[in-house]
Amino acid sequence: MRPRERGRLLLLVGESSTGKTRCAFEAIRTLLPHWWLLQPDDVEQIRRAAASPPAQLVVWLDELQNHLLGTSGLTPDLARRLTRSGVLLIATMREEYYRPYARLPGPGGSRGEAAEWEVVRKLATPITIRAKLSVAEQGRVRAAAEHDGYLRAGLQIAPDDPFQAVAGVPLLIRHADGADPYARAVLEAGVDAARLGVLSPLSAELLQQAARGYGDERQ
């Protein structure tokens, strides 16, 4: 893409640990190796970039739902200002967060819900990352593993699903399964909080109270 061309918002969608982030990283490294890369900490950094973007800029929005925030985050107007300046926005989102945006908010919906829907479903170009590899993809993974130690290790652990292994999922599961009852209760409380959409850090007090519900009477 030449600097004066219109930019785009690309959204990689898939289940957890299917390689969305790695796919985006490899695409940028291969196709746009000399472009500037911005990984914003907050929406103010995105606004500053939109005000005066460099000629070749990629804005990295891992876990896009964390950057939306209704009308306080990445709004449709802000996304359009960036893409019209030639900026490439590349984002990732887990399927569980993407799915609720399938329907346009009804008349009773808020402006924030409508803004988020427009960014996710109207402005973004979705790219689905499947959990299971096709036969052709398996061949490409084996070829890439010849010069990629992470993929080689992933194929040794899980030949049919190396990306879960590369992300450390089997190790995390074994760690959780082998934890003592109290540690496991805290882990499960934290996981459930994330599933419910809690994005802020969890306090020790909250985890202490919540963990009590994850043990049996004997524990």
pLDDT in tens, 58-80: 999 999 999 998 788 899 999 99
Say yes or no to pLDDT of 187 above 90. no
Say yes or no to pLDDT of 215 above 90. no
Cβ partners under 8 Å of residue 78, min gap 6: 43, 46, 47, 50
Same domain, 150 and 51: no
Q: Is residue 2 one of the residues assigned to a domain?
A: no
Same domain, 124 and 21: yes
Q: Is residue 3 one of the residues assigned to a domain?
A: no
Q: Is residue 218 one of the residues assigned to a domain?
A: no
Say yes or no to pLDDT of 146 above 50. yes
What is the pLDDT at residue 1?
45
Q: Is residue 219 one of the residues assigned to a domain?
A: no
Asked if residues 39 and 89 have their Cβ atoms less than 8 Å apart, the reply is no
| Residue (of 140, 146, 94, 145) closest to 120 by Cα position | 94
| Mean per-residue pLDDT, 13-24 | 85
Q: Is residue 174 one of the residues assigned to a domain?
A: no
Q: How many domains does the chain contain in total?
A: 3
Same domain, 141 and 202: no
Rounded-to-integer distance, Cα 166 and Cα 158, Å = 9
What is the pLDDT at residue 3?
43
What is the pLDDT at residue 172?
72
Q: Which residue has the higher pLDDT, 145 or 217?
A: 145
Mark which of 96, 128, 160 sits at the end of a domain.
128
| Mean per-residue pLDDT, 198-207 | 83
Same domain, 123 and 146: no
The domain containing residue 27 runs over which residues?
8-128
Same domain, 106 and 38: yes
Q: Which residue has the higher pLDDT, 146 or 218?
A: 146
What is the pLDDT at residue 87?
95
Same domain, 143 and 202: no
Say yes or no to pLDDT of 4 above 50. no
Same domain, 164 and 205: no
Least confident of 125-134, 135-144, 157-166: 157-166
Rounded-to-integer distance, Cα 124 and Cα 147, Å = 33
What pTM was computed for the model? Answer: 0.67
Same domain, 19 and 102: yes
Say yes or no to pLDDT of 169 above 70. no
The DSSP line for 133-176 is --HHHHHHHHHHHTT-HHHHHHHHH-TT-HHHHHTTHHHHHHHH
Same domain, 50 and 33: yes
Same domain, 200 and 145: no
CATH classification at residue 30: 3.40.50.300
Same domain, 57 and 119: yes
Same domain, 124 and 139: no
Rounded-to-integer distance, Cα 61 and Cα 68, Å = 10
Say yes or no to pLDDT of 33 above 60. yes
Q: Is residue 119 one of the residues assigned to a domain?
A: yes
pLDDT (tens digit, 9 = 90+) per residue, 71-124? Answer: 888 999 999 999 999 999 999 999 989 999 988 887 777 888 999 999 999 999
| Mean per-residue pLDDT, 1-15 | 76
Mean pLDDT of the chain, nearest integer: 85
Over pLDDT 70: what percentage of the chain? Answer: 95
